[in-house]
């Protein structure tokens, strides 16, 4: 999953923050190919691949699901985000400010910053699992939600503390190391998969002489399907496809990459996101899942998802360095950008202090394995929370005028909080939360005597939606709400419109 | 100097993959693969830094 989300003003120091990018500053296709390939090969890929295996995916489901889901993600960049980016050529932040007003954007920043913090925490967790290979201490298991040893907490605190300090001073050096590491890291990820495959061939005695043999090995030993591990949700083809499509939802459908793609000469250049998707979200996920499947094959009781030991077994010290570099180079800008998002809320406090506090929160979050071990759910939640604002931007740009409303309403009316956008966001989130939490919610209502058992059962059977699928109906709800509320709101509140 | 570093660094990535291919074919053992990978990793970071360490990259 990408970690270098160019969150609005988090692009501090970049140019043209409050004006359209001029023609002379536009970039070519090659610039985007390298950027996307690097961004989507992060430390968290080493968690996601194994979690697919833990979720009981079959070979067809994971391979075809990832091919389809990643294709949909690329198409979302090309047909939803890029056309707006290359026409308006504004940052997400500035475009949102024109639509929503400064106060609502501040609220959006807060949500974005909090999600960044937790995501950075998961990256610290990933890096700390590599430290655990060098210095032996008990590391968290697949179903651990709380830290399980003093050694683990100390390792996370030291690592997270170092990352935070570097982030507070500006992350230039780590960004440079990240750029240098990128081609090497992509290769090491692929090597993980190849080594894992050979280990499977050796341990099973399979004769693999063509693709058909390889597919048979994959079906019978690597991605066997069947029940998920205890505590995990069963993943089908649809889960994998929607996860691959929506894990970067904040960026394509959620429009965060407006800030990046505004520099593209043509909107089709967004197809460069395919490099990131098929290197990071296909090859890297499959490679990491092969390593974990091999671990389970050797010892079915060893269900721990620990990228450090997994990488060490396959590639020795190179694997460990890969885990640390992948975690560090992506946690760093994430903490930095979360800090910038928070600083927009408290502009009088220095960026240094805000980033240190942000890093501290991320580090504490990283000590709790909950986020990393439930990364599939967290990533889905991350996309869900930021998605409605993407729908608002899409509707505002393409549709609102056709419904007789004014685009960029906050700018036109001088409002600092566009209630149409705010309500579209919050109501969509509320509806999606109810759909996702239908089971516990109706159980609680039934316990209070508000719902009968048959009604409860009907609601659970017909209205319950898993978090991986909630974003799709959520987008349409947000879009429809924004149009309807804008019609009402703009009719009543248009004091400064010319 | 820079172009020499560029050649060596790309070569190190090629060499990084060779033992893995041999391992896939059953022609070498994993320990040898790991040693070659470690050496190539050091060579890559040492030489790539010489031409990829762009002072303008990663400005915050």
Give me A127's structure tokens.
């890096």
Span A337-355, average pLDDT = 83
Write down the domain spans for chain A. 8-376, 399-498
Q: Do A172 and B60 touch (CB under 8 A)?
A: yes
Q: Which of A178, A184, A318 sits opposite B34 (nearest CB)?
A: A318
SS3 A374: coil
Q: Do A194 and B24 touch (CB under 8 A)?
A: yes
From chain A, pick out residues whose CB is under 8 angstroms from the CB of B58: 171-176, 178-179
Q: Label residue A176 by pLDDT band (50, 70, 90).
A: confident
Give residue A1's pLDDT: 59
Digit-coded pLDDT (tens) for A262-286: 999 999 999 999 999 999 999 999 9
Q: Label residue B56 by pLDDT band (50, 70, 90).
A: low
Considering only residues A31 and A187, tell me which one the structure prediction assigns the higher pLDDT: A187
Residue with the two structure tokens 């209630």:
A419
User: How far is A240 from A234, CA to CA, in rounded Å?
Assistant: 10
Write down the domain spans for chain B. 2-51
Smallest CA–CA distance, residue B57 to chain A, in Å, is: 6
User: How far is B11 from B38, CA to CA, in rounded Å?
Assistant: 14
Considering only residues A421 and A12, tell me which one the structure prediction assigns the higher pLDDT: A421
Question: Does residue B38 sit at the A interface (CB-CB below 8 Å)?
Answer: yes
Give me A198's structure tokens.
């050979």
From chain B, pick out residues whose CB is under 8 angstroms from the CB of A15: none
| pLDDT surpassing 90 at residue A158 | yes
Contact partners, residue A87, CB within 8 Å, separation at least 6: A397
Question: Does residue B14 sit at the A interface (CB-CB below 8 Å)?
Answer: no
| pLDDT surpassing 80 at residue A394 | yes
Q: Best of A167, A203, A316, A336 to disrupt the B interface by mutation (most B CBs within 10 Å)?
A: A316
Span A399-419, average pLDDT = 94
Mean pLDDT is lowest, of A11-20, A140-149, A323-332, for A11-20
Span A329-338, average pLDDT = 81
Give residue A493's pLDDT: 65
Q: Do A184 and B13 touch (CB under 8 A)?
A: yes
User: How far is A280 from A42, CA to CA, in rounded Å?
Assistant: 7
pTM of the model: 0.90
DSSP letter at A221 equals: I
Q: Do B58 and A171 touch (CB under 8 A)?
A: yes
| pLDDT surpassing 70 at residue A380 | yes
Sign of CA dihedral A16, A21, A22, A27: positive
Inter-helix orientation angle A150-168/A307-343, to 10° = 40
Q: Label residue A8 by pLDDT band (50, 70, 90).
A: very low
Q: Do B34 and A198 touch (CB under 8 A)?
A: no
A368-to-A121, A327, A354 alpha-carbon distances in Å = 8, 16, 22
Q: What is the mean pLDDT of chain B?
A: 88
Give me A433's structure tokens.
């939360």
Span A236-259, average pLDDT = 94
Considering only residues A9 and A163, tell me which one the structure prediction assigns the higher pLDDT: A163
Give residue A336's pLDDT: 80
SS3 A58: strand
From chain A, pick out residues whose CB is under 8 angstroms from the CB of B24: 194, 197-198
Residue with the two structure tokens 């610039």:
A31
Span A29-50, average pLDDT = 87
Considering only residues A426 and A16, tell me which one the structure prediction assigns the higher pLDDT: A426
Q: Which of A197, A318, A336 sits opposite B60 (nearest CB)?
A: A336
Candidates A130, A180, A182, A135; CA nearest to A314 is A130
User: How far is A346 from A136, CA to CA, in rounded Å?
Assistant: 41
ipTM: 0.92
Digit-coded pLDDT (tens) for A291-300: 999 999 999 9
Digit-coded pLDDT (tens) for A190-246: 999 999 999 999 999 888 889 999 999 999 999 999 999 999 999 999 999 999 999
Question: Does residue B53 sit at the A interface (CB-CB below 8 Å)?
Answer: yes
Q: Which of B26, B57, B60 sits opposite A170 (nearest CB)?
A: B60
Q: Which of B23, B26, B58 sits opposite A175 (nearest CB)?
A: B58
Q: Label residue A59 by pLDDT band (50, 70, 90).
A: very high
Smallest CA–CA distance, residue B1 to chain A, in Å, is: 18
Q: Do A198 and B23 touch (CB under 8 A)?
A: yes
Q: Which of B20, B37, B57 sits opposite A175 (nearest CB)?
A: B57
Q: Label residue A30 by pLDDT band (50, 70, 90).
A: confident
Strand partners, A264: A27
Give residue A265's pLDDT: 96
Smallest CA–CA distance, residue A390 to chain B, in Å, is: 25
Q: Give the length of chain B.
A: 60
Q: Label residue A50 by pLDDT band (50, 70, 90).
A: very high
DSSP letter at A264 equals: B
Contact partners, residue A136, CB within 8 Å, separation at least 6: A151
Q: Label residue A496 by pLDDT band (50, 70, 90).
A: low
Give residue B60's pLDDT: 32
Residue % of chain B over a pLDDT of 90: 75
| pLDDT surpassing 60 at residue A3 | no
CA angle centred on A248, ends A242 and A249, rounded to 5°: 70
Q: Label residue A289 by pLDDT band (50, 70, 90).
A: very high
From chain B, pick out residues whose CB is under 8 angstroms from the CB of A184: 13, 16, 41, 44-45, 48
Give residue B38's pLDDT: 96
Give residue A10's pLDDT: 39
Span A408-414, average pLDDT = 94
Give residue A72's pLDDT: 98
From chain A, pick out residues whose CB is under 8 angstroms from the CB of B20: 191, 194-195
**Nearest chain A residue (CA) to B49:** A180
Q: Quick count: other Cβ atoms within 10 Å of Cβ A401? A: 11
Q: Is A8-376 in CATH node 1.10.4160.10?
A: yes
Residue % of chain A over a pLDDT of 70: 95
User: How far is A470 from A472, CA to CA, in rounded Å?
Assistant: 6
Q: Label residue A349 by pLDDT band (50, 70, 90).
A: confident
């Amino acid at each position: 999953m990408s970690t270098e989300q160019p969150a609005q003003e988090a692009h501090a120091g970049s140019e043209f923050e409050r004006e359209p990018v001029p023609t002379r500053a536009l970039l070519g296709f090659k610039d985007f190919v390298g950027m996307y390939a690097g961004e989507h090969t992060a430390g968290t890929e080493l968690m996601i691949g194994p979690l697919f295996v833990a979720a009981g995916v079959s070979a067809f489901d994971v391979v075809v699901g990832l091919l389809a889901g990643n294709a949909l993600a690329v198409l979302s960049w090309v047909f939803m985000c890029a056309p707006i980016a290359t026409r308006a050529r504004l940052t997400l932040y500035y475009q949102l400010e024109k639509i929503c007003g400064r106060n609502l954007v501040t609220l959006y920043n807060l949500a974005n910053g909090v999600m960044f913090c937790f995501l950075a925490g998961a990256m610290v967790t990933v890096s700390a699992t590599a430290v655990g290979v060098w210095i032996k201490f008990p590391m968290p298991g697949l179903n651990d939600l709380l830290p399980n040893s003093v050694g683990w907490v100390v390792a996370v605190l030291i690592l997270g503390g170092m990352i935070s300090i570097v982030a507070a001073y500006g992350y230039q050096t780590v960004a440079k190391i990240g750029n240098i590491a990128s081609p090497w890291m992509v290769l090491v990820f692929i090597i993980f998969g190849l080594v894992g495959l050979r280990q499977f061939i050796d341990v099973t005695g399979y004769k693999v002489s063509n693709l058909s043999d390889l597919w048979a090995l994959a079906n019978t030993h690597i991605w066997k399907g069947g029940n998920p591990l205890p505590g995990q949700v069963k993943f089908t083809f649809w889960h994998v496809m929607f996860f691959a499509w929506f894990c970067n939802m904040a960026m394509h459908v959620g429009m965060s990459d407006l800030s990046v793609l505004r520099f593209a000469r043509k909107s089709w250049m967004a197809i460069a996101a395919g490099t990131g998707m098929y290197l990071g979200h296909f090859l890297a996920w499959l490679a990491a899942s092969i390593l974990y499947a091999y671990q389970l094959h050797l010892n079915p009781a060893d269900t721990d998802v620990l990228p450090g030991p997994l990488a060490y077994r396959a590639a020795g010290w190179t694997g460990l360095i890969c885990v640390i570099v992948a975690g560090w180079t992506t946690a760093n800008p994430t903490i930095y950008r979360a800090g910038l998002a928070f600083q927009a809320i408290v502009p009088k406090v220095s960026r240094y202090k805000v980033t240190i506090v942000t890093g501290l929160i991320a580090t504490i979050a990283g000590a709790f394995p909950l986020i990393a071990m439930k990364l599939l759910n967290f990533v889905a939640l991350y996309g869900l929370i930021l998605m409605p604002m993407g729908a608002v931007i899409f509707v505002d740009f393409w549709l609102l005028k056709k419904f007789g409303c004014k685009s960029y309403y906050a700018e036109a009316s001088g409002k600092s909080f566009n209630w149409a956008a705010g309500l579209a966001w919050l109501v969509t989130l509320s509806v999606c939360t109810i759909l996702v939490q239908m089971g516990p919610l109706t159980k609680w209502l039934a316990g209070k005597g508000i719902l009968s058992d048959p009604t409860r059962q009907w609601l659970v059977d017909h209205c319950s939606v898993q978090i991986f699928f909630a974003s799709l109906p959520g987008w349409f709800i947000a879009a429809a709400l924004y149009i309807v509320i804008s019609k009402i709101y703009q009719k009543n509140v248009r004091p400064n419109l010319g | 100097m820079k172009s020499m570093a560029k050649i060596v660094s790309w070569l190190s990535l090629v060499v990084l993959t060779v033992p893995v291919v041999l391992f896939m074919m059953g022609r070498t053992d994993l320990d040898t693969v790991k040693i070659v990978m470690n050496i190539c990793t050091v060579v890559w970071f040492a030489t790539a830094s010489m031409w990829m360490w762009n002072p303008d990259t990663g400005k915050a």
